[in-house]
Amino acid sequence: MTMNWLFSMRLAFVLLVLLSVWFALGVSMSEQDAYRQVLRSLNDLPMSQWMQSLVNAPIVASWLAGLFGLMFLLGLNTALCSWRDLLPTWRHKRWRSPRIMMLPIHILTLLVFIFHGVDLVFIHGHDSVVLHQGERFNSGRYQIELVKVDYRNDASQITEDEKGFSPAGRITRRSVEVFDPRINNAYFKVSNGEQTVSGHAGFLRPFNWDDLYITVTDFRVPYQQQAKGVQVKVLAVHNPLINYFFICYCLLLLSLLLQGLVFWRRSIKKGGRKC
């Protein structure tokens, strides 16, 4: 039996439609609170521990199984189609072919798929802690100390009441007039046992050393702890893949722009855009 259908664009079309429908189902599923909570719990767990959350949510489990199945088929179809239909353009060095950028676009899309998959299965190494000045914690092979908090906005705006609410509200809802992320910093000292480095991190401005990213996700003054000063919520992330991930994404973007350029030049040559 011929397996040509596995290589075909028709299968790609069907899979793309099915995946779109699947994501649309995902959007409507996430509108319901019970399912949203299950999905949210998956964000903080490696894939090996998903069963704990999914055992009581068969609909979410079925949706995820369908999603992975469709993604696998689309990945396979992309790889086979690239090998049979797109690789010959490069193998025969047809550099002037309008299809020249198709292979990099498809391969980079596949790589992005793969990085998403690896990220999903293996990379969930992050620690979230709250620290006052002078406190420290361990994250993986790193010891991280909060040396100083340099908070320049009005701290009374982030001082919480007994219910945990502050006048400025959640960090993502704060006005730049009461909280400007560009002027508020936390100064960290990080050691891996052999070397020690130090640097600033703030909200949306992480401090990076090797595979470690330290991000401040909140500045706050807890109820009745004004004497201790501003407390910082810190996220330490270990993700050795992240640079490769974004390099692939940027190369994909570049390939698409080059494809646009190739098409535009070709349309000029054909007389489509003569002025």
Partner 1 sequence: MKDVSLNQTTTLEQRFIAARLASVVMFALAVTALTLINANSLLFPGSSVTTYLVVTAIVGSLAACILPIRNVLQARYAWIVSGFALLLLIYSKTLEPPMGDSAMLTSLWAQLFFLSRPIALGLAIAACVGYLIHAFARDLRLESHSHLLSLLAGTAFLGGEIAGSYWAFIGWGRSWSWSGHFFFSALTYLLFILVFHLPKAWFANGKALALGKASVLGFICVLMLGYRLS
Q: How far is the CB of 181 from partner 1 (least distance, A)?
A: 5
If the CB atoms of residues 194 and 253 are measured against partner 1, the closer one turns out to be 253
Q: How far is the CB of 97 from partner 1 (least distance, A)?
A: 16
Binding site for partner 1 (CB under 8 A): 8-10, 12-13, 16-17, 19-20, 23-24, 26-27, 30-31, 36, 39-40, 42-43, 116, 119, 126, 171-177, 179-182, 203-206, 213, 215, 217, 235, 237, 239, 242, 245-246, 249-250, 252-253, 256-257, 259-260, 263-264, 267, 270, 272-275
Q: What would the two tokens of residue 171 be?
A: 């960090």
Do 230 and 155 touch, CB atoms closer than 8 A?
A: yes
If the CB atoms of residues 179 and 188 are measured against partner 1, the closer one turns out to be 179
Residues 6+ apart with CB under 8 A from 251: 104, 108
If the CB atoms of residues 172 and 195 are measured against partner 1, the closer one turns out to be 172
Do 110 and 78 touch, CB atoms closer than 8 A?
A: yes
Provide the CB-side half-sphere exposure for 229 (13 A, CA): 14
In DSSP notation, 64-94 reads HHHHHHHHHHHHHHHHHHIIIIIHHHHHTT-
According to DSSP, the β-strands at 136-139 and 142-150 are antiparallel
If the CB atoms of residues 193 and 250 are measured against partner 1, the closer one turns out to be 250
Q: How far is the CB of 162 from partner 1 (least distance, A)?
A: 25
Q: How far is the CB of 80 from partner 1 (least distance, A)?
A: 14
Kindly list the distances between the CA atom of residue 129 and the CA atoms of 139, 174, 260, in Å, as whole numbers in the listed order: 10, 21, 46
Q: How far is the CB of 140 from partner 1 (least distance, A)?
A: 14
